[in-house]
Amino acid sequence: MKRAFDLFAVLVGGIPLAPILLITAILIKLESSGPVIYVGKRVGKGGRYFSFFKFRSMIHNAENMKEQLREMNESDGRLFKIRNDPRVTSVGRFIRKYSIDELPQLWNVLRGDMNLVGPRPLPQEDLKDLASDPEALYWFELRSKVKPGITGLWQVMGRSNLGFRDMVALDIHYVQNWSFWLDLQILLKTIPAVIRGSGAT
């Protein structure tokens, strides 16, 4: 039922979103050099790696600057977040605020890599050395039982305003208490959260 609902929602919802996708791609290309779509490796169900798609919101080759900015990290645990990240472009700042940068992940849903709702997929480097942290290891094993999602409890409860431990607790709660009704509640709460644009970095 979850898969059928996701496919229906993406196919129907993708039609009115097409102009937004096109305009966003044009603006990104006009502002800075580099590809329109950022493709990264993320960990999915069963610990399987998959290609993860986003609109590029940073300057080209921003990953190469990450170590230089490590001391500016404002998040705890394994997350890397900078509220005023100097790598983010003007267009990128806008599309991040309203989660437009996440829209290419609809293709991930169609491919079967992700669901509309689930724990957010994390970069490989955020999951290193899990064996040294029993709580983080349990969290990873639990979240690996489900597909990651475009939105989830973390997004509707505060997004980047929440720390790593909050994300862990919300992921565990979601997996242990999943229901179709819970997914619908999260999807309905995602709309006002995106419109407000609060908690984005």
Calculate helix-pair angle for 90-97, 2-31, nearest 10 degrees.
160
In a domain, 201, yes or no: no
pLDDT greater than 60 at residue 129: yes
pLDDT value of residue 134: 81
Indicate the Cα dihedral angle 122, 160, 12, 195, nearest 10°.
Answer: -170
pLDDT value of residue 156: 87
26-85 per-position pLDDT tens digit: 999 999 989 999 999 999 999 899 999 999 999 988 877 777 777 777 666 567 777 788
In a domain, 24, yes or no: yes
pLDDT value of residue 76: 60
pLDDT value of residue 123: 80
Structure token pair of residue 116: 């509309």
Structure token pair of residue 29: 């290309």
Amino acid present at 179: S
25, 55 in Cβ contact below 8 A? yes
pLDDT value of residue 77: 59
Least confident of 72-76, 101-105, 143-147, 171-175: 72-76
In a domain, 140, yes or no: yes
In a domain, 21, yes or no: yes
Could you tell me the residue range of the domain that residue 128 belongs to? 2-196
How many folded domains does the chain comprise? 1
74 backbone dihedrals φ, ψ, rounded to 5° = -105, 0
pLDDT value of residue 174: 94
Helix (H) or strand (E) holding 97: helix 90-97
In a domain, 186, yes or no: yes
